[in-house]
Structure 1
Amino acid sequence: MLELEPALVDRAAALAGRSDRVVLGIVGEPGSGKTTLTTALLAALETRGIAVAWLPMDGFHLGDASLDALGLRSRKGAVETFDGWGYLAALRRVLTEVDNPVYVPGFERGLEQPIAADRVIPSGPALVITEGNYLLDETDPWPLLRESVAEIWYADVPQDLRRERLVARHIAFGKTPAAADAWVATVDEPNAERIRARRGLADLIVPVD
């Protein structure tokens, strides 16, 4: 597991003490280690006895049937292939429905499909960590996320390592090496450039290498 600087865990713990329910966003390019950072934070905070929960943006991928209807299957992972408004609605529910559990979708990488009600944000005070690619995007509805997220941290990693991780991930989930290289070059990299252009808007840059 990623070893975190104590000051980073302290900062997340301070957010948890602000109110009954606080959301911390983790953003980054494909393959930057967003999930690695998130799971390490969750474990470190749980060790301190802080109530935490996880809301992954990947659960708001459009399913393949919707992507096919829109002609977007070949661009899966681009900003327009997510239900951004649904994601925003889920964040708002998480902040306002503190007295009941809020079920949110997850994402099954083996199937490459979202899974409804796959995760739960339990009732009661908690720090909710949400991670995804487009938390800083300039197109609607993404700027509205700032109303629901206390801070946004940017998971940063050297570009060569990030691309190596992506290719390896695609191969692990069934693509040939050639197909994985092609997908990274034609789909993942344009998405990465779009995300990287907003890097300076993050509240904190976190190296994840």
Structure 2
Amino acid sequence: MTPDLDHLAEAIRARNADGGRILVAIVGAPASGKSALSDRLYHHLGGDKAGAAVVPMDGFHFDNSILEDRGLLARKGAPETFDIGGLKRTLTALRDTQNEDVYVPLFDRSLEISRGSARAITPRHKIILVEGNYLLLDQAPWTQLHDLFDLSIYLEVPEEILRQRLIERWRGHGFDDAPATHKATSNDLPNAQTVIHGTGIADIWVMTCS
């Protein structure tokens, strides 16, 4: 089932009826299609010229040096490997300082690091699509984020499809079948299960099976 962009855009615009700024959480497990949906919604809403912007949670990955010091490098992508304090401060700034530019980091997958202040959210940006795995996670400290969102959308994908997608993702990075399967099942799939079983209530649930 393909997400109904018209329906989602209508729900977002309804929350933005007064013309102020809204923050929309787009949540799902790894490989659920969050980034793709965020990009499609961004363009469906009119893109930058219409005041839409995307803020990916991945920009708040801890640096590898911090993860290595904490013994978490092999778990990169798990909830404890993100700077949730920095994410909360940025989302709060987006809500509370709408008349100022707010700069957000972006994760560079080619370098495996976050680039600080890589995207500018300006006062003309009124619809902020915040996409990430754990934005609605029903465990501390992630629960601190829930009240910051005006609308939340959750992508529900069967676990077996996620498993296949995660393996294919690593194959696409040049790994053979065995190491791709190991990488997907040793870290990515447990993270996906954390999202599936630990996500709180979302306003809109989108089911996809392909």
TM-score (norm: length of structure 2): 0.90
Equivalent residues, number: 208
Match of 1:54 in 2: 54
Aligned CA distance change for structure 1 residues 44 and 61 (closer, same or farther; 3 Å): same
Match of 1:28 in 2: 28
**Following superposition of structure 1 onto structure 2, how do residues 68-87 of structure 1 map, counting pairs within 5 Å?**
68-87=68-87
What is the Cα deviation at residue 129 of structure 1?
0.5
* Conserved 8 A contact 2:137-2:199: no
Match of 1:109 in 2: 109
* Conserved 8 A contact 1:154-1:205: yes
* Conserved 8 A contact 2:138-2:200: no
Taking the aligned partners of 2:110 and 2:167, their CA distance within structure 1 comes to: 15
Are 2:7 and 1:10 equivalent residues in the alignment? Answer: no
Taking the aligned partners of 1:51 and 1:204, their CA distance within structure 2 comes to: 22
| Structure 1 residues without counterparts, runs of 5 or longer | none
What is the Cα deviation at residue 196 of structure 1?
0.7
Q: Per-residue displacement from partner, 1:155-203 (whole Å, max 9, x unpaired)?
A: 1223333222212222323444322211211111111111111346111
Taking the aligned partners of 1:151 and 1:184, their CA distance within structure 2 comes to: 30
* Conserved 8 A contact 1:60-1:86: yes
Q: Per-residue displacement from partner, 1:86-143 (whole Å, max 9, x unpaired)?
A: 1011000111111121110001112222111111211235110001111122332211
Taking the aligned partners of 1:193 and 1:199, their CA distance within structure 2 comes to: 10
Are 2:204 and 1:166 equivalent residues in the alignment? Answer: no
Secondary structure, counterpart of 2:25 in structure 1: strand
* Conserved 8 A contact 1:88-1:141: no
Superposed CA RMSD in Å reads 2.0
| Structure 2 residues without counterparts, runs of 5 or longer | none
Match of 1:187 in 2: 187
Secondary structure, counterpart of 1:139 in structure 2: coil
TM-score (norm: length of structure 1): 0.91
Identity within the alignment, % = 34
Corresponding letter in the other structure for 2:10: D
Question: Relative to structure 2, which stretch is displaced further, 60-69 or 16-25?
Answer: 16-25
* Conserved 8 A contact 2:84-2:141: yes
Taking the aligned partners of 1:97 and 1:29, their CA distance within structure 2 comes to: 30
* Conserved 8 A contact 1:3-1:40: no
Q: Per-residue displacement from partner, 1:55-112 (whole Å, max 9, x unpaired)?
A: 1000001111111111100000100000011101100011111112111000111222
